[in-house]
Structure 1
Amino acid sequence: MKLWRSRWCRAALLPTLVGATAVAGPLARADIGTELPLIIDVSTPAAGQCDGALHGTTAVYFPPGVPAHADVEWRILGGGQPIRTGITPVNSDVVTVGFDIRQDELPADGRLRVDARARVPGGAVGGYGKPWNLRVSRECRPLHVVSAGDSVTWGQGLGLDRTFADLTAETLGTQTGRTARLHDYSVSGAALDAPALHADTEDADCPVDAKTTDESGTDRLPDVFCQLEQAGTEARAGGYPVDLVLLDGCINDLDPLFGIPVGLTPGTKDVTAAVRRECGGAGAEADNPAAHVPYFSGAKLGYGGRGMRAAIEKAHALPGSPKVLVSNYFHGEDAPDAPEALRARWSEFIRVSAETFRQAAEQANTAAGEVYAVAADGLVSQGNGDHGPWMNPLGDEEVSLRLLACPHIEAPPQCRTAAVSHADVDGAREFAKTFLLNPAVREWFGGGGPSGSGFTVSKTTGPAGTTVEFDGAPAGGAIRQYDWYFGDGAHATTDGPEVAHAYRDPGPNLPRLVVTDMTGRRAMYELQEPIVIG
């Protein structure tokens, strides 16, 4: 499995360093803290897991200033019981320990927990610090899922085994009765396409980590096309087919949303035009207007590149001709209490990008003569409280600690829980489940499609304020709950099949309906074309 380090490990360090030092401070004064030592990386290469011992390494962070001659006592647990333990002298800020675990020692669910504690001269022993949880597969023919994209697929703020991509793979494996193995190449901050990385040929000069810089010293983050190229290289080398690709991207190509104190990034003032250019690959001027802005912007790298259709087709060209699930961005910043300028721009972005992704998947399917790609949605709506992919990290010691530890290791897979925000695992789990409700995904991997024919609408166009009537009767009988997602961030739950909704913001808005029958089984339907307002 190849994972790239994120630039956010360094970028997010400064604003949280004070809090991290405060947490680490007691240990630096020769006391034993309860949060340290900290596991910051566990590496378990996929090769040979199904029929041999599990070989791996774990990296343990000890901050500068710990007592001299201290030791790290580490352990690996399965099913709550220690499988491997050891005591290793501290000879640097990061201590790397190797381990081997026989197949018969691994727990049935494959879940492992790694943590460590400090032992200092005089016999004092601290408590075990923050753990690292992971899951390994023992199946020789698992589903292989590739994740490529930016921070949404990367799972910014979540532990390694709790990311959106991991939970999607896990849930898919459960539905199919097979183990699913995730190969994660996504990077927080990555562009969909950074043309400068491919100056000579389509896949030339792809950087393999965030340390690669251009002439000005600016980080050159791997884009989605580079991620897919690496996924193909490793799949061919490992001799395995890819079954599904989770894909997103292009938000960092245009950087239009939050604004910069000195002004918006050039080329993104018209959000719709920017989305069509960067997400849709509609083309742009040869010179990037954001190339020399005096602040960081993803648009410095991603401007005028290939769009999502080209990424979908490249994903499908991986060994095994996998299915492709393009994950739409989610509502949340367009909540009613958000600043109006931010709400309007974010709302416009997610609607236009969702429609661009849908069209890209449709075009790719038409060109191939088969349905292998779909633009799916996590159904995150306005005002749904904590159940979104992210939560506020303020006061979260784990985030601060991992941010502090991140720069001390040369090449971790990613600073997995070093993030500008801390994630809500329940929200991420629900996010994953709703993606797999998509009718195309259920048809590809089993679980059955919806039994009915969907829902009808009274109209698909109109001016702002147009009320559209929805009828879910075609979804079938014996339905106990109808959950309507209107495509504009609004959500309604009814116990009957009819509902009306007034559209005020511009479209396109693609409605979806999730029905729950009397046994608790859920099915999802979506309109074939979006509702366009204005």
Structure 2
Amino acid sequence: MKLWRSRWWRAALLPALVGATAVSGPMAQADANSDYPLIIDVSTPADGQCAGTKGAEHTGLHGTTAVYIPPGVPAHSDVEWRILGGGQPIRSGIAPVNSDVVTVGFDIPQDELPADGRLRVDARSRIPGGAVSGYGKPWNLRVSRDCRPLHVVSVGDSVTWGQGLDLDRKFGDLTTETLGAQTGRVTRLHDYSVSGAALDAPGLHADNAHCPAANAGGGELPDVFCQLEEAGGEARDRGYQVDLVLLDGCINDLDPIFGIPVGLTPGSQDLTAAVRRECGGAGAEPVNPAANVPYFSSSKLGYGGRGMQDAIEKAHALPGSPKVLVSNYFYGDAAPGTPQGVQQRWSEFVRTSAEAFRTAADRANTAAGETFAVAADGLFGQDGGAAGNDSKLWMNPLGDEEISLRLLACPPHSDQAPQCGKAVAGHADVEGARQYAKTFLLNPRVREWFGGGGPLGDGFTVSRTAGPSGSTVDFDATPAGGAIRQYEWYFGDGAHLTTNGPATSHAYADSGPNLPRLVVTDMTGRRSMYELNEPIVIG
């Protein structure tokens, strides 16, 4: 039932309400058109239930909630408030209405907080005589259920660093933020990635030369191995254990002129061989053929010979023996109208580098006798959709005309650092970056490590993994279970298809390697990802 009709209060009380909430909560949380009590603030310690505690020693969440009472509520009424977690009330109470704003306190023991840390607070009026209003607009908040910080280290080049994205919207930040939301834990990001860094720049390590720090400035850039060295030193000095390393590198060391692997940089004409050299550490030449190129290029710093497997193993050797997520942000196809030869090279570049990452992670796991590393993919298809989203292909200059050319933004003979100390890309696709972060964390191994519940095992089968060009491969997702309402197929060649049934087929024209992945959505809306354990190679 509606208890009152708005009359003079909007003009008379709104300024006072704004003043009352200015220091305690955003006005956006209150709705001046509501007929019901409004939660206008929920105050907790700055660190939630972790304030003043050490490790996991804490007693729970303590705080207050302020409820605005509209003028139409009669005198001698009560306000009934509640706090919900997982859709169920975990705290509630009744307080007398004695002013426009009623403030009540609450205590929630740690073991009663929901696993995801998400809480919802709302209230309603109880009128003398038994009448009860509806619940007003809620206040949503998230607290950390586990007070042990989840430490994430991010290393790599401009791709990991987030070329063109605001500082708090980098991939490391978004991935760490998303991981914290999924685990209900406090998160700490330690970002050492640098735009323009190579995977392995041997000049930095010759004669035990000191690695430059990531934030040192100037023209000397730390490579990924230097970044990992700095990350390990700081973790030991500050006494924390690293839980996860976000790792990238090598794919920008191949032929980054204009950001397009067109084969102009010496040593990059054979793209597959270049990927194996830079990402796999195989066949590095004693004299770098790109050392004297007339434009800034990570490839003139690279060609070190230590590949991604060595970097993965060095990451796992950080304090805490962290898990390692090797992130391949490149996917999809070139923009319409791009010359056919460049399109083919781009496609080869994407798939070959993804396979190099997967192979490096598998070999590192085999050598260690445990599964601590995984190669993740953003699931961007050539239709521009990221796991079902409409975001643009990120870091693909062929698909985004707003990208500024590095060559023009960073003059090769200037005194500035090669990356100019700032992002030189003109278009910041934050939503695309956020979709990458969410998709990386769909990886079944990552979900197993951090409490997401898998899934592990085979979610689908294929009729063949090899064949001549044009071969059709049949896919069957029956192993994923029966309570599935949607199947999103990513065939590994840039093609993407959504089906309502578990069976489909796809014809492969390019040789590959093509690693298919499947994202299923069950009847509750939960999304899970599966991938084939080996790529499909055609031709």
Q: Do these two structures clear the TM 0.5 threshold for a shared fold by scoring above it?
A: yes
SS at match of 2:313: helix
Cα distance between partner residues in 2 of 1:323 and 1:303: 26
Listed as ranges, the gaps of 5+ residues in structure 1 are 1-75, 82-102, 111-134, 214-218, 397-402, 405-409
User: Structure 1 CA distance, aligned partners of 2:187 and 2:514?
Assistant: 33
Q: Does 1:512 align with 2:517?
A: yes
Distance 1:258 1:500, change over 3 A: farther
Is the Cα–Cα contact under 8 Å of residues 154 and 187 in structure 1 kept in the other structure?
yes
Find 1:176's aligned residue among 165, 183, 197: 183
- Alignment pair present for 1:496 and 2:501: yes
- On the 8 A contact 1:451/1:475 being kept in 2, the answer is no
Q: How does 1:379-394 map to 2 (within 5 A)?
A: 379-384=379-384, 386-389=391-394, 394=402
Pairing 1:517-532 to 2, within 5 Å after superposition: 517-532=522-537
Distance 1:394 1:277, change over 3 A: closer
Residue 195 of structure 1 corresponds to which residue in structure 2?
A: 202
Per-residue deviation, 1:365: 0.6
Q: Read off the aligned partner of 1:199 and give its amino acid letter.
A: A
Map 1:231-380; keep pairs closer than 5 Å.
231-255=231-255, 264-380=264-380
State how far apart, in whole Å, the 2-side matches of 1:476 and 1:164 are: 32
Out of 400, 407, 425, the residue aligned to residue 420 of structure 1 is: 425
Which amino acid letter does the alignment assign opposite residue 173 of structure 2? D
Judge conservation of contact 1:382–1:489 (CA < 8 Å) in 2.
Answer: yes
Secondary structure of the corresponding residue to residue 229 of structure 1: helix
Shift of 1:340: 2.1
Please give the secondary structure, in 2, of the residue aligned with 1:315: helix
Q: Is the 8 A contact 1:79 1:107 kept in 2?
A: no
Structure 2 Cα separation of the partners of residues 318 and 380 of structure 1: 31
Instruction: Return the letter of the residue paired with 2:272.
Output: T
Q: What is the distance in 2 between the residues matched to 1:421 and 1:531?
A: 36
Aligned position for 1:60: none
Q: CA deviation at 1:369?
A: 0.8
Count of residues in correspondence between the two structures: 394
Q: CA RMSD in A?
A: 3.4
Measured in 2, the distance between the counterparts of 1:414 and 1:108 equals 39
Q: Tell whether 2:445 aligns with 1:440.
A: yes
Task: Give the superposition deviation at 1:282.
Answer: 0.6
Question: For 1:200 and 1:515, how far apart are their aligned partners in 2?
Answer: 52
For the residue of structure 1 that corresponds to 2:289, the secondary structure is coil
Structure 2: distance between partners of 1:395 and 1:366: 40
| CA deviation string 1:273-318 (max 9, x = no partner) | 0000110001322111111122222111001421000000000000
Native 8 Å contact 1:146 1:244 kept in 2: yes
What per-residue deviation string (whole Å, max 9, x for no partner) do you get for residues 181-236 of structure 1? 111111112111111111124xx4212257777xxxxx332111111111111111
- Which secondary structure does the structure 2 equivalent of 1:422 belong to? coil
| CA shift in 2, pair 1:139/1:156, >3 Å | farther
Residue ranges of structure 2 left out of the alignment (5+ in a row)? 1-21, 28-42, 51-141, 385-389, 411-415
Quick check: 254-263 or 366-375, which moved more?
254-263
Among 463, 466, 485, the residue aligned to 2:468: 463
- CA 1:452–1:274 in structure 2 vs 1: closer, same or farther (change >3 Å)? closer
Q: Which amino acid aligns with 1:186?
A: S
Between the two structures, name the one with larger relative contact order (CA 8 Å, sep ≥ 6).
Answer: 1
**Is this contact kept in 1: 2:155–2:193, CA < 8 A?**
yes
Q: What code does the residue aligned with 1:446 have?
A: G
- Contact persistence 1:245–1:325 (CA under 8 A): yes
Secondary structure, counterpart of 1:443 in structure 2:
helix
Say if 1:189 and 1:283 are closer, same or farther in 2 by CA, change over 3 A.
Answer: same
TM-score by length of 2: 0.67
Contact 1:210 1:221 in 2 (8 A): no
Once residues 195 and 349 of structure 1 are traced to their aligned partners in structure 2, the CA distance between those partners, rounded to angstroms, is 24
- The structure that has the greater radius of gyration is 2
Question: Taking every aligned residue pair, what percent have the same amino acid on both sides?
Answer: 71
2:3 is matched with none
TM-score by length of 1: 0.68
CA displacement, residues 354-387 of structure 1 (integer Å, 9 cap, x when unaligned): 1111111111111111100001111111122534
Shift of 1:78: 8.4
